[in-house]
Structure 1
Amino acid sequence: MEINFIALFGVAVIPLVVGFIWYNPKTFGTIWMRENNFTQEELQKGNMLKIFGLTYVFSLMATMILMALTIHQSGAVGMVGGPPMLANAKPSFAAFMADYGTAYRTFKHGALHGFMGGLFFALPIIGINGLFERKSWKYIFIHAGFWMVTLALMGGVICAYA
């Protein structure tokens, strides 16, 4: 199972693109700013190179776990010791991969798993933090919704093309 690193580097841009749309004042940006007590002037003071650069790095990290969540064949590869051990795998592994190496490798399947990751992983984390930080439900659902959409898109592209 070869990994398409170009696709992974491309997928890491998805949170930036979705964030540009999601947190735009014409969508949820105005509500998000109000829930965080931000002004437009305060947001412009941030170091955008640092913010976008680290967002991209963190997004690359997320692609690695999304590969495991969306590409089921990675579990089979892990069972034989990972890519360095593929040459030493038993013939049954090669037969299994020949039969099932591309099973469930679709955008739709990856999007489902990405969405489920957002619903059952991102939402609880954001919800817990939001509750302890005394944030509103609007704040929690804006961020959780962003991650559900973003992870669905990321998972779909990873599963179909990585």
Structure 2
Amino acid sequence: MESLNVWAVLVAAIAMHMLGAIWYSPIMFAKAWMQACALTEQQLAQANMAKLMLGTLLLCVLMAFNLAMFIGGTDVNWQLGALYGLLAGFGWVTLALLLLALYEQRSWRYVAINGGYLSLGFTLMGAIIGAWQ
């Protein structure tokens, strides 16, 4: 890899963070996710949202940086970046989540909601990083 495009990493991280805000919102999977995690609205209301948002954004930056280190290169376009992101998101992250969920006796709904977000998020980040070579 010749050089890392810091802007691509930052935009990819922000895109994944925004996807999470939509994915886990009431218009999508908030209620199903809360049921799958056995969380109540009262428990969530007690969380420090500023700390959560800053922490998740930082983690998105680290994940985008990691993905960029794997897929960076002049021969990667947005389609190949999206494919590599999907392979990382589903093949590594979601399957690892499934592995843990089996032992933790989590529901398939839990894996589908969280794994779906991670797979789609990595695909989106890969497309952005691949397009911005």
TM more than 0.5: yes
Does 2:109 correspond to 1:108? no
Q: Give the residue type in structure 2 aligned to 1:42.
A: Q
| Alpha-carbon separation, structure 1, partners of 2:120 and 2:67 | 14
Alignment partners' CA distance in 1, 2:130 and 2:12? 11
Give the aligned partner of residue 158 of structure 1.
129
Shift of 1:155: 0.7
What SS is found at the alignment partner of 1:12? Answer: helix
Q: TM-score, normalized by length of structure 2?
A: 0.90
Quick one: which amino acid aligns to residue 142 of structure 1? I
**Which position in structure 1 is the counterpart of 2:98?**
127
In terms of Rg, which structure is larger? 1
Paired residue for 1:67?
68
Q: Tell me if the contact between 1:69 and 1:114 (Cα under 8 Å) persists in the aligned partners.
A: no
SS class of match (1:25): coil
For these two proteins, the number of residue pairs brought into alignment is 132
Matches of 1:7 and 1:68 in 2, distance apart?
12
Question: Greater relative contact order: 1 or 2 (C-alpha under 8 angstroms, separation 6 or more)?
Answer: 2
Given that 2:78 and 2:126 are in contact with CA atoms closer than 8 Å, whether structure 1 keeps it comes out as yes
Question: Which of 85, 110, 113 is the matching residue for 1:139?
Answer: 110
TM-superposed CA distance for 1:146, in Å, is 0.5
Structure-2 separation of matches of 1:3 and 1:16: 20
Indicate the RMSD between aligned Cα atoms, in angstroms: 1.4
SS in 2 for 1:13: helix
Measure, in 2, the Cα distance between the counterparts of 1:20 and 1:67. Answer: 22
CA displacement, residues 23-44 of structure 1 (integer Å, 9 cap, x when unaligned) = 1122111111111121222112
In 1, the alpha carbon distance for the partners of 2:49 and 2:6 equals 26
Measure the CA separation in 1 of the matches of 2:83 and 2:55: 26
Distance in 2 separating the partners of 1:138 and 1:122: 16
For normalisation by structure 1, the TM-score amounts to: 0.75
Q: Is the 8 A contact 2:9 2:68 kept in 1?
A: no
**Offset of 1:140 from its aligned partner?**
0.7
In 2, Cα distance between equivalents of 1:122 and 1:2 = 26
> 4+ residue runs of structure 1 moved beyond 6 angstroms?
none
8 Å CA contact 2:11, 2:128 repeated in 1: no
Taking only the aligned residue pairs, the percentage that are identical comes to 27
